[in-house]
Amino acid sequence: MKQFLSLFAMGAVLAKTASAHYIFSKLVIDGEASADWQYIRQTTRSENYMPTKYSNTFDNLTPSDSDFRCNLGSFSNAAKTEVAEVAAGDRIAMRLFYDGTIAHPGPGQVYMSKAPSGNVQEYEGDGEWFKIWEKTLCNKEGDLTKTAWCAYGMSEFEFQIPDNTPAGEYLVRAEHVGLHGAQSNEAEFFYSCAQIKVSGSGNGIPSLTYKIPGLYNDSMELFNGLNLWVNTVDEVEVDITKTPVGDDVWDGSRSSALRSSSAAPSATPSAGVRSSIISSCSL
């Protein structure tokens, strides 16, 4: 009976791995992985590893919804999700459920957002987000449908909390976007949020911030129109630059220069412009 059960459990794991889908569930601090959902808000989806898409959706969830912040229903689990203590400058990682690996081509990024009240367990993520990590094309001669992308094959995203990050409680949102269905508006977004408390005496100010939802829309060719089997690497790079994926990451400084494409009096010009483009898909 025991053997039967373990074979059954193995089969379940294999079935999930075979779906090629994934979600970040573990936080890694000092090389030690947490339990699943200990520090990362668990989604309430029945199949938690399924992607969020603009069309042909699962659970009716799209990147235009407020649950695009930390995944469907996850705010209902915020209070029971622990808050990990880290210092500004620490390197940490967010690791995939079932020790899966990323099996889709596309960029990976990590965003942070400070809980205005000081308590991240009560924070819905409706404030300002800034980007601290980005991986796009690492091997431009490689296969655009696979290994050309840095994140392809990764089992975790490892990143540094910028040195000058002000102390406080934050959501940390890791995201991978599979672009293999972008030609039919079916880019796949995989993401979830950790809850952390940053210590230190940092006084940096992120130079470019975004709202979620709002930072992406399906007028962006990268997510809707790009065809990895047809387009050239140069075309992919142009499409990247027209989205937040192409924006510089915040390095922790107080006065990092705004990107030329978003040079304007407001601190968040491109986010504002982006959120004014109304998605044509609002399933």
Backbone φ and ψ for 170, nearest 5 degrees, come out as: -135, 150
d(CA 128, CA 154): 28
Interface with Cu ion by CB under 5 A: which range of 110-118, 187-195, 221-229, 265-273?
Answer: 187-195
Q: Name the residue nearer to Cu ion (CB basis): 188 or 239.
A: 188
Taking the complex as a whole, the smallest distance from the CB of residue 281 to Cu ion amounts, in Å, to: 18
Give the number of residues in contact with Cu ion, rule: CB under 5 A.
1
Token pair for 219:
């007028």
Taking the complex as a whole, the smallest distance from the CB of residue 234 to Cu ion amounts, in Å, to: 25
Q: Does 186 interact with Cu ion (rule: CB under 5 A)?
A: no
Q: Name the residue nearer to Cu ion (CB basis): 123 or 189.
A: 189
Site string for Cu ion, 117-156 (x = CB under 5 A): ----------------------------------------
The DSSP bridge partners found for residue 108 are 135, 176
Sign of the four-CA dihedral 38, 40, 45, 50: negative
Residues 6+ apart with CB under 8 A from 62: 52, 53, 54, 68, 279, 281, 282, 283
Q: Quote the distance between the C-alpha of residue 104 and its chain's center.
A: 14
Q: Name the residue nearer to Cu ion (CB basis): 118 or 153.
A: 153
Interface with Cu ion by CB under 5 A: which range of 169-177, 182-190, 250-258, 270-278?
Answer: 182-190
Placement of tokens 């890791």 in the chain: 174
Half-sphere exposure of 103 (CA within 13 A, CB side): 13
Q: Which DSSP symbol is given to 192?
A: E
With CB atoms as reference, the residue minimizing the distance to Cu ion is 188
Interface with Cu ion by CB under 5 A: which range of 9-17, 42-50, 125-133, 180-188?
Answer: 180-188
Interface with Cu ion by CB under 5 A: which range of 38-46, 88-96, 184-192, 273-281?
Answer: 184-192
Q: Name the residue nearer to Cu ion (CB basis): 128 or 188.
A: 188
Q: Does 188 interact with Cu ion (rule: CB under 5 A)?
A: yes
Sign of the four-CA dihedral 259, 109, 138, 51: negative
Residues found near Cu ion in the complex (CB under 5 A): 188
